[in-house]
């Protein structure tokens, strides 16, 4: 890269912003080495920055290994990359090495809500965009620059679901959900569950509103994914950008981006009359 491109992409990679001076994004350079470097720092931007600080203070990478959220985050990246690479190879979109290259880069970009692209994933076989949409809702770790629901909340929701199944089989058992060695209080679990419900309901309502504004289902869902998850690229008419959609869709997208960046509660509480009375 030129010095200008290097500085520009360094800032937008670590900040998981995804902006590029080139219309083709990182794909403009067609360089596996540049993409590999971007993957490392996109994933770093998606990790809780408090963990980075602890690693720096201790001069040891062990906090990455011991943190349950970072471990889950890494596992999601690896499994999703392998699955999508196998799908791309099986459907003959790319050969073996190219499948791994494009799959790992796109998974890192979508999971961290960076939005860089080396290919238009909306044109890949239909189940792959759906997997990437699910990854965009998962997002990065809490305390990172990434969007989405966050891996920590997804991890707690999964543990909460497993606990409910366990208690159905053992009604009198007392089960405590732990994150690592620390128990999680019921108040925190209730807050996570409330956040998840509001996030999904807001996404569904935005999808309906964008369909009412003229988008088809695929484009409306893609627009919501691109905005509320702070992703950038979407599906259908907004696979590349929002240039050709109506002003109403753009205003809805602005609202979606604010909801995603402020993490639902902070914005939606402004619409409660009780908040203003206090």
Q: What's the confidence (pLDDT) of residue 278? A: 66
Question: Is the confidence at residue 58, as pLDDT, over 80?
Answer: yes
Query: Would you place residue 106 in the very low, low, confident or very high pLDDT band (cuts 50, 70, 90)?
Result: very high
For the stretch 203-240, pLDDT in tens is 999 999 999 998 999 899 999 999 999 888 888 888 87
Question: In this structure, are 10 and 114 located in the same domain?
Answer: yes
Q: What's the confidence (pLDDT) of residue 273? A: 85
Mean pLDDT confidence for 36-49: 94
Q: What's the confidence (pLDDT) of residue 77? A: 96
154 in a structural domain? no
230 in a structural domain? yes
Domain stops at, among 138, 156, 171: 138
Question: In this structure, are 128 and 209 located in the same domain?
Answer: no
Range of the domain at 239: 186-277
Percentage with pLDDT > 70 across the chain? 100
Q: What's the confidence (pLDDT) of residue 122? A: 79
11 in a structural domain? yes
Question: Is the confidence at residue 121, as pLDDT, over 90?
Answer: no
226 in a structural domain? yes
165 in a structural domain? no
181 in a structural domain? no
Q: What is the pTM of this model?
A: 0.90
What's the chain's length in residues?
278
Q: What's the confidence (pLDDT) of residue 87? A: 93
Mean pLDDT confidence for 53-76: 94
Q: What is the mean pLDDT of the chain?
A: 91
Q: What's the confidence (pLDDT) of residue 136? A: 92
Domain stops at, among 138, 172, 206: 138
Split into its structural domains, the chain has a count of 2
For the stretch 166-210, pLDDT in tens is 999 898 888 889 888 889 999 999 999 999 999 999 999 999 999
């Amino acid at each position: 890269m030129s010095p200008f491109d290097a500085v520009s992409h360094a800032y937008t990679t670590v900040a998981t912003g995804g902006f590029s001076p080139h219309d083709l994004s990182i794909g403009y350079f067609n360089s596996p080495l540049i993409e590999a470097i971007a993957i490392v720092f996109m994933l770093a931007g998606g990790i809780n920055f408090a963990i980075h600080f602890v690693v720096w203070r201790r001069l040891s990478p062990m906090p990455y290994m011991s943190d349950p959220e970072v471990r889950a985050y890494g596992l999601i990246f690896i499994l999703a990359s392998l699955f999508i690479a196998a799908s791309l190879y099986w459907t003959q979109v790319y050969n073996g090495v190219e499948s791994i290259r494009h799959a790992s880069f796109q998974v890192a970009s979508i999971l961290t809500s960076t939005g860089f692209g080396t290919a238009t994933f909306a044109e890949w076989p239909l189940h792959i965009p759906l997997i990437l949409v699910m990854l965009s809702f998962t997002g990065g770790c809490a305390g990172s620059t990434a969007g989405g629901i966050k891996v920590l909340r997804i991890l707690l929701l999964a543990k909460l679901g497993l606990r409910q199944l366990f208690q159905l089989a053992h009604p009198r058992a007392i089960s405590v959900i732990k994150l690592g060695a620390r128990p999680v209080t019921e108040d925190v679990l209730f807050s996570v569950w409330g956040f998840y419900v509001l996030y999904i309901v807001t996404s569904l309502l935005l999808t309906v509103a964008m369909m009412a504004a003229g988008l088809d289902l695929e484009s409306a869902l893609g627009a919501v994914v691109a905005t509320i998850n702070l992703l950038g690229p979407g599906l259908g008419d907004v696979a590349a950008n929002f240039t050709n959609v109506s002003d109403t869709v753009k205003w809805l997208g602005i609202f979606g981006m604010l909801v995603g960046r402020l993490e639902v509660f902070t914005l939606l509480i402004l619409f409660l009359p009780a908040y203003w009375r206090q």
